[in-house]
Amino acid sequence: MQPSVDLAIVGSIGIDTIETPTEKQEEILGGSVSYACAAASFYTHAGMVGVVGTDFPTEFRKIWENMSIDLEGLQTVEGKTFRWSGVYEENMDNRRTLSTDLNVFETFSPELPVAYRSAPYLFLGNIHPALQLHVLEQVHDPKFILIDTMDLWINIDKENLTQVIGKCHMLTLNESEAQLFTGEFTLNKAAKQLLELGPEYVLIKKGGNGSMLFTKDDIFLLHAYPLDDLKDPTGAGDTFAGGLMGALAASGKTDKEAIRQAMIHGSITASFGVEEFSLDRLKRLDRSELEARIGEFKEMCRIACADSEERM
């Protein structure tokens, strides 16, 4: 059977209340799978696997439909949708969680539609490692699997998480999570330990400082795009990962150069996402704006390299 989607994305869907130093927005669309699917939709046909309650607003569902995201894997369960609220500090880097209500997400068991199981690309968003393993039991030899995780799973279920990492092609996590998992302060040493668990690539996110891609042979450094306005960093990592996987699926490749190029697409897609709350900027974004900023970013990097060579 031919897959109905090129990229299957599994994760959380939430309704968020977010306060930054300048603004507060209540009851807005959030969740890892929501951000990742939105970003991927600019590049490929993505399918969503998640759960919402019967209280989930119709207008949120329409946002996904307008982005041509496949919703066959979306479960609707009697009860309330997962809710999260948090406050960002002045630097917009640190945030404090005010409340977390799992609601229907507490009993979520991801089930992939039959057609999703043959999707060549799979992104396992930040959910319990046992659920990530459950998804891996359902798929049919995907070409490329990316998984995300967080400090909670490292602390409470490192054993299952280690199993998941060994079954994926790429692991992504932020620098503090890499340090927590390995006990190593330097990211080079942390990445080396993580690569020994089985993945070909380890992608360490550094927030506004960009990201680092590690293999057993080399390291690739990617700057973040310099922004004038940063309104809401929520979901930036998921947007980055979704854009990366969408671009990789569009290329049909899995080699190192394709992944590096896909990282640029993911990073630039995320740079648009943080300019407004929720998916507000992404739902207005068109491909020409995206390509223009990608070109601008590549030019910034190219000029910097050229200037450096001239001085040597």
CATH number at residue 175: 3.40.1190.20
What does the buried/exposed string (b/e) look like for 135-163 if buried means 16 or more CB atoms within 10 Å of the residue's CB?
bbebbeebebbbbbbbeebbeebeebbeb
Q: Residue 129 is encoded by which pair of tokens? A: 């490692």
Q: Is it the case that residue 182 has pLDDT exceeding 50?
A: yes
* Residue 91: predicted pLDDT: 85
Q: Is 291 a domain residue?
A: no
Give the mean model confidence (pLDDT) for residues 264-283.
Answer: 97
Residues belonging to the chain: 312
**If we measure between CA atoms, which residue out of 33, 24, 10 comes closest to residue 237?**
33
Q: Is 305 a domain residue?
A: no
Q: Is it the case that residue 293 has pLDDT exceeding 50?
A: yes
Q: Is 104 a domain residue?
A: yes
7-13-19-23 Cα dihedral, nearest 10 degrees: 60
CB < 8 Å & 24+ apart, contacts of 142-147 = 143/254, 144/120, 144/169, 144/170, 144/245, 144/248, 144/254, 145/121, 145/169, 145/170, 146/122, 146/170, 146/171, 146/172, 146/203, 146/241, 146/244, 146/245, 147/123, 147/171, 147/172
* Residue 94: predicted pLDDT: 84
Of 1-5, 155-159, 195-199, where does mean pLDDT reach its minimum?
1-5
Q: Is 300 a domain residue?
A: no
Domain with 184, as residue range(s), is 7-285
**If we measure between CA atoms, which residue out of 185, 203, 183, 205 comes closest to residue 195?**
203
Considering the chain, what is the average pLDDT of its residues?
A: 94
Q: Is 296 a domain residue?
A: no
Q: Is 153 a domain residue?
A: yes
**If we measure between CA atoms, which residue out of 159, 118, 111, 124 comes closest to residue 141?**
118
Q: Amino acid identity, residue 38?
A: A
* Residue 304: predicted pLDDT: 46
**If we measure between CA atoms, which residue out of 227, 220, 215, 312 comes closest to residue 274?**
227
Query: How many CA atoms are closer than 13 Å to the CA of 56, on its beta-carbon side?
Result: 26
Q: Is it the case that residue 310 has pLDDT exceeding 60?
A: no
Categorize the per-residue pLDDT at 311 as very low, low, confident or very high, splitting at 50, 70 and 90: very low
Give the mean model confidence (pLDDT) for residues 162-180.
Answer: 96
Q: Is 307 a domain residue?
A: no
Question: E strands along the chain, which residues?
Answer: 7-10, 14-19, 24-30, 46-53, 70-77, 83-88, 95-101, 121-124, 144-148, 170-174, 201-205, 211-214, 219-222
Q: Is 308 a domain residue?
A: no
Domain count for the chain, please give it. 1
* Residue 3: predicted pLDDT: 57
* Residue 129: predicted pLDDT: 96
* Residue 92: predicted pLDDT: 85
For the chain, how many helices (H) and strands (E)? 10, 13
